[in-house]
Chain A
Amino acid sequence: MPKLLSQHLHLVESIFECIGLGVVVIDELGAIIFCNPAASTIVGISAEKVPLEKWTEHYGFYLPDGITLCPDTESSIVAAISGVSADFEVLIQNHLGSVRSKWCTIHVKPLKSAENEITGALLLIQDTSEQKKLSDEAARSNTALQQFATVAAHDLQEPLRSISGFTDMLAQFQGERLDEKSTRCMNKIKDGVTRMQTLINDLLTYSRIQTKPQILQPTNCNEIVASCIKSLNASITKSGAQINVDFLPTITADASQLSQLFQNLIGNALKFCAADKPPVVWIRARREATLWLFSIEDNGIGIAPEFAERVFRIFQRLHSSTAYAGTGIGLAICQTIVDRHGGRIWVESEPGIGSTFYFTIPECGEETT
C-alpha cells in the first residue's frame, strides 16, 4: 500500500474511533462490515451476525411507546440498499447488554461505489437521550409553572378579596362614627390590597408570557404601535407627551406579545419622565443583516449604567413605589417576549438625559423555547 494511502486510512480509522456518532456500514446483503465503538456504546451491545430481519428484536429497537418493536429498521435498511435515504427515531432498550434505554435518531443512507453502484448502506446513530431529557424536563416544568401560577393567582386573590370586602363593609357599618385615624388605617389596608393584587396579576401575566404557545404570523408593527399609543392615551394627554413613530416594518411575530412589548416600553418612557419637561418619545426600526433592530428612545430620567442589565430582572425596581408605582415585572416580561422571539433586548442610557431601549427580532421570527 502506498504510504500516503495508508496514512489516510489510519486517519479515517482514528476519526471513527473517536467520534460520538455511531457509524455502521452494511453490505448490499445486509451484513455488518464495519461498526465504530460509538455505535456499540449507544446500542449497548456490539455488532453480531444477526440477519437483518432479526435486528429490531436483537438490538432492542422500539417505538417511542417503549413496547412496540420499531418496524422502520428493517424497511429503512432495505430501502437504503435500493437507493433511498431515511431517518427514524427509536428507543433502544435491550436486556442483553446495557439495560439503560436510549433515545436515538438513525439516519440510513445508500453507499455507492465510484461507479455509482449501490454497495450497501451507512447507518448514522445519534444518541438524543440528553436532548430528549432536557426538552421533556422543560415541558414538564413549564406545565408545572403554569398550573402553579393559575392556582396561586386564584387562591391568593381570595383572601385579599375578603380583606378588601370586609374593610368596605366595616366602613359602611361604622359610617360617620369612623374617626380620621381609623379612616386612614382603612385606606392603608385598601392600598395594600390593591398593591398585592397588581403584583399577583403582573406575576400571572409574566408566567403566561413564558408558557403560552406563540402564534407567529406577519405582524404590522405600525398597527401594533398605533393601538398601544391609543391605549396609553390617558397618560399621554396628562403628561403632554409627544410620540414620534417612524415607518415600522411588518415582521414575523406573536402579535399579542409584540403589543405587550411595545406597551411596556412606551409606558415606561412616559412613566419615567423628567420632572421639568414633557416626555418626547421616538420609536424607530432599522434593518440589520438578518434581523430588525427596534429602538424606543425617551428624554426621561435615565438609568445609571450599573443598573442597565438589572432592570430586566423580575421584581427589580430602582425607585420606591411612592415615587414611581409598579411591580418590577414589566421589563422582565419584555425580556421574555424578546427571548421567545429569538432576539435580544438591552438599554443604553444617560441619567438625566434619557434612555434608549433596543430590541431585535430575527427576520424569520423562529421560535426559541
Chain B
Amino acid sequence: MDPNLLIDVQNLRVSFRTDEGIITPVEHVNYRIKREKTLGIVGESGSGKSVSTRALIKLLPKNAIVDPESKILFNRGNGTEPLDINLLPAGSKEIRKLRGGEIAMIFQEPMASFSPVYTIGNQIMEAVRTHRLSSNSPLAATSTVGTHISESLKAKYNNVSKKEARSIAVDMLRRVGIANADLRVDQYPHELSGGMRQRAMIAVALSTHPSILIADEPTTALDVTIQAQILELMKELQTELGMSIIFITHDMGVIAQVADEIAVMYLGTIVERGPKEAVINDPLHPYTKGILRAIPKLNNLGARLEAVGGDIPGPHERPTGCPFHPRCPQRITKTCDKLHPERIEKTPEHFVRCFLHL
C-alpha cells in the first residue's frame, strides 16, 4: 500500500434490515484519504455521507450489514501491514482502541454528544485515560496501540494518572482557544455556549492524538462567525498535529474552503471525486453541475435560480441503473436507467460515474 495513504475504502456496501425489507443506502463507495489531507464529502440528506464514514469505526446500528467483501484498509505506516477494519468484530478490543483513539469523531450537535452529568474536563480525561499511554511509561515511545504487548504489562504502565490527564485536558482546552481553560475544565456542558461546546468537542476528539478525525457536519448548527472560527481552528490543529480529516457537510461553500479533495455523494454512491479545484471549477457529473448552479451567488442577484428538477427519491424507491437518471437532464434512455455506471478516471485523480464520460 502507498505509504502516503492512510485509509483506502474499497467497494463499501452497507445495508440495513428494516421491517419493509432490506435497503442499501450505501453502495459502490470507494475513497482514500492521504496523510495530513482533508477529504470533503458533500451530499444531500439521505445520500449516505454519515453511514459510509461511520462504517470506518463500526459505529453503525445493530441492523446494519456491511458487505464482507468490502475493504476498509487502515495504513498505520512504519512498515506494518495495513489493517482491514471490516474484518474486526464490532465489539472487539482492537476496534475499541481505534475508535476514539486513532480514529476520532466529532458530531453535528455538540450538546447531544456530551454527557450532561459530567464536567467537560472529566470527559476529556476519560478519553485520555482510555487511549493514551502515560508519558513516563516505557511503552509510550514504541506504540500507541500496543496490540503485541501483553495485557498485564499494559495494565501496569498504560494508565495516565488522573493528575496528568487533567493537565492534558486543560492544555487541550487552551489549544482549542477556550479562555480561562483551568476554570472551564470543571464546568458542565450546559454552562458553555454553542461555539465553545464545539471547541470542547474538538478538544475531546484530539486529546488522544488521532491520526484521522471524522467531522460529521461539525459547523452546521453554528452561526457563520462562529463557523469561521471553528474552521480556522481545525486547519491550525491539522497542521500542528499532522492528522487527516474527513469533513462531511451539505454546504458546498464550506467544502470549497476546507477540503483538499472532494467526494460528491448522491443516493449512496460517490458520483464524482477529485481534487477540489477540479470538482468545483470543472465538474463532470450532471449532479455536481446541477448543485453548483443551484447555489445562489452574490454576482447574480435577483435572477432565477437553476434548480435541479425532481425530488430526491426515498430509501425504498431507489431507481435502477444510475441513481441520478430520473432527475438528470442529459440521461441516455436505455442506458442510464438500466446499467450502473462504472467509475471512470477522467483526468488523473478525478473520478466520475457517468455514461456521458465513457
Query: Is the A/B pair a real complex?
Result: no
A residues sitting closer than 8 Å to B (CB atoms) are none
